[in-house]
Structure 1
Amino acid sequence: MARNEQLIRQHKILQILEHSRYGYLLEEIRDDLVNQLGLTSLHVRTVRRDLEALQAAGVDVDSHESPRGRVWKMGTGARGMHKINASATELIALSLGRDLMLPLAGTPFWVGIESFWNKIKEELPDGIWDHYQKFRQVLHVSGVTPKSYKDQEGVLKTINRAIQQHRVVQISYQTLGQPKPKEREIEPYGVVLYQSSIYIVAAAREIEDLETRVRHWKLDRFKKAEALDAYFKPPKDFDLEQHLAQSIGIFASEKPQNFKIRISSFAAAWVREDPWHPEQKIESQEDGSVILTVKAANDLEIIPRVLALGAEAEVLSPASCRKAVAERVKRLAQIYQID
């Protein structure tokens, strides 16, 4: 986590310097970092090392003597960094990515996406822009849920700040099926965009078991969030990417386990064309069917996929999931029973 803290500081330093024409003293940069990141203390030597690391990475950061002392500011090369030159094919690829990010509309992330997109439009020659517009008339992105998190913008800002500062957050969270929201305290680790919805990966503070305390909280269900004057220490071995790779979906309240599903010869090609998980295993059978083995943290990550295939899929194990599918099929049969 120390590496992440260094990257966060360096990114914030760039934001501070980009808004200064005449530069800042080390002490002024340090004070801004403490205020904006909610730090208790920070030594100027740490700030100097961060600035030197940025220079070593090729970022044009200069320092020079002034009547106030040695000041640091963005160099002339960095001032021109916003001059953007893109080809038509690069513009098309970027616009497709922007379309896929539409569920982030109303969040601080979308502000950055739109700001960058507008800069590109301003810099491009008319010919390239015309070519791009003609090509996009025959290239369309579909399947992205039209969704906005504008109403949760304040909550997300609080969560993002708490992640950087390692602060405990008190939330009002309404689980589906509950008549009223409940007050909870969480330790936020990261933000995830999954199937057009935003989730907060955070530990439930009241749970002591390290294997089950990390949950995924859907942003739609947050009614409010307040960063408390209490801090937590993230687990040293926690890696957000590895954590998410343990399951095919977004559930995380249970320990992942292997699910085995028999897929008919007719539908076998589908699970090869559209894998359920990058690490899934497929065993071919003599009759053309396959046995699919995939990890998931909850039956509900498997059941909708199985039901979508109808009679072409059969859960083999675990027994609890097989039973749950059977119960749903029985209820469906009762609903659709023909007199």
Structure 2
Amino acid sequence: MPVKNSPDSTYGSKLLDIFFQLYREGKKHFKQDLANDFGCRPSTIQRIADVIEQFAGPHFETGIENRRKYYRISTKPCRISYGLDIEQIRALTLCKQLASASLPPYLLESIDDTIKTISLQLCYQDFPDRSAGQHLPISFSPKGYIDYSNHQKIIDKLLKAAQEKWVCLVDYKKSRFADVQQYFYAPGRITSQSNALYAIGHETTTGKPEKGEPKNFAIHRIQELTLTDMVFDFEAADEGINYFGLKFHEPKTFRIHFSRTASDYVMERIWSSEQKLEEQEDGSVILELKTVSEPEFMAWVRSFGENARLMDDKEVKYAN
């Protein structure tokens, strides 16, 4: 329910508010409810509805339901200016909700406003309740997520640098016990992993835009980021995106045996672009994958405890 308007607001402001509420949501609004919400008499709502009907014409609908009078603005089909349909609006809303743990509140509000604006352009007669596409019964329950509200300027600079290929000067603190270190850095992209955002790119030679070793930064640990006047001309994030982990070395192949207890969890997910799964007669499974971060991979295997073990060369040959 909308926030009640002040009874002292002008007739004109009430008219505009009611018009946009009817047009934005496309659903039935009852006269008495509008009177309560806008702090005025039902007769005032009727006068406003009469004015809106003059402008909306055939798109304006009024009727009686359960002895209560209602108003609604419906629209005829028209060209979709954004090239989207309601299913795509739902998909955008889903993506926004799944990413909510990594986005600051003001950006989430901005995305909501954009989705609403696009929804207004759809104007489907057979989808009068357009607000249904903007609010889905889906939630995301992250554990141990990071609040990026104070890091948005750094994220914006990283995106600009990656798009325009600017070398950055990064002040980075890898832990709360470490000293701040400086790096010349060519960012390639931002990626999300384990409820955290990372900058993926390459360290560059000091004072020169030359490609160095792969370098990844946890964005929440970047203390300061400055764009330099140096432009790099190489692909800063050209490898590793389809392999397990954040890139620290060339791809390595491993085979892991998972017990029957962990097999469903492993088989339901994609861990690497070239992974292979081999079901065993006892219900266990062997997973073969490629990783570009061996320490991260080993920590992941250890997290399964006795339900996972690496296979040695002899076992690999036997399994094949």
Task: Map 1:11-90; keep pairs closer than 5 Å.
Answer: 86-87=85-86, 89-90=87-88
Per-residue Cα deviation, 1:214-262 (whole angstroms, up to 9, x for no partner): 1221111111011112222214xx664x4311x2122x22222112211
Structure 2, unpaired ranges of 5+: 1-78, 314-320
- Contact 1:261–1:314 at 8 Å: present in 2 too? yes
Listed one character per residue, the Cα deviations across residues 8-53 of structure 1 (whole Å, up to 9, x for unaligned) are xxxxxxxxxxxxxxxxxxxxxxxxxxxxxxxxxxxxxxxxxxxxxx
Paired AA for residue 243 in structure 1: G
1:106-255 matches, within 5 Å, as 106=104, 113-120=111-118, 122-123=120-121, 127-129=128-130, 131-132=132-133, 136=136, 139-144=137-142, 147-176=146-175, 178-206=177-205, 213-235=213-235, 240=238, 242-245=239-242, 247-250=243-246, 252-255=247-250
SS at match of 1:175: coil
TM-score, normalised by the number of residues in structure 2: 0.59
Structure 1: distance between partners of 2:212 and 2:282: 40
Query: Rg: which structure is higher?
Result: 2
- Matched letter for residue 172 of structure 2: Y
1:253-272 superposed matches below 5 A: 253-272=248-267
The one-letter code matched in structure 2 to 1:292 is L
CA distance change for structure 1 residues 108 and 257 in 2, over 3 Å: closer, same or farther? farther
CA distance in 2, matches of 1:122, 1:175: 46
Q: CA deviation at 1:292?
A: 1.6
Shift of 1:151: 1.1
- For 1:179 and 1:98, locate their aligned partners in 2 and report how far apart those are by CA, in whole Å: 35
RMSD: 3.5
Name the aligned partner's letter for residue 186 of structure 1: Y
Q: Check whether the contact 2:96–2:108 (CA below 8 A) recurs between aligned residues.
A: no
The match for 1:9 is none
Q: Which residue of 1 aligns with 2:298?
A: 303
* Whole-Å separation in 2 of the counterparts to 1:190 and 1:221: 17
Q: Is 2:101–2:142's contact at 8 Å kept on the other side of the alignment?
A: yes
Shift of the alpha carbon at 1:106?
3.3
Show structure 1 runs of 5+ residues with no match.
1-79, 319-339
Task: Tell me how far apart the structure 2 counterparts of residues 298 and 275 of structure 1 sit (CA, whole Å).
Answer: 16
Count residues in correspondence: 229
What is the distance in 1 between the residues matched to 2:102 and 2:108? 6
Give 1:319-338 correspondences, 5 Å limit. none
Alignment partner of 1:151: what SS? helix
Letter in 2 for 1:160: L
Answer whether contact 1:261 1:317 (CA < 8 A) is retained. Answer: no
Tell me which residue corresponds to 1:276: 271
User: Is 2:278 the partner of 1:291?
Assistant: no
* Residue type at the aligned position of 2:95: G
Identity of aligned residues (%): 19
Which amino acid letter does the alignment assign opposite residue 216 of structure 1? N
Residues 301 and 309 of structure 2 are in contact (CA less than 8 Å); yes or no, is this contact kept in structure 1? yes
Q: Match for residue 308 of structure 2? A: 313
Q: Distance in 1 between matches of 2:106 and 2:81?
A: 20
Structure 1 residues 130, 115: CA separation in 2 closer, same or farther (over 3 Å shift)?
A: closer
Amino acid of the residue matched to residue 257 of structure 2?
A: R
Is the helix fraction higher in 1 or 2? Answer: 1
Q: What SS does the aligned partner of 1:266 have?
A: helix
* 2:130 aligned partner, one-letter code: W
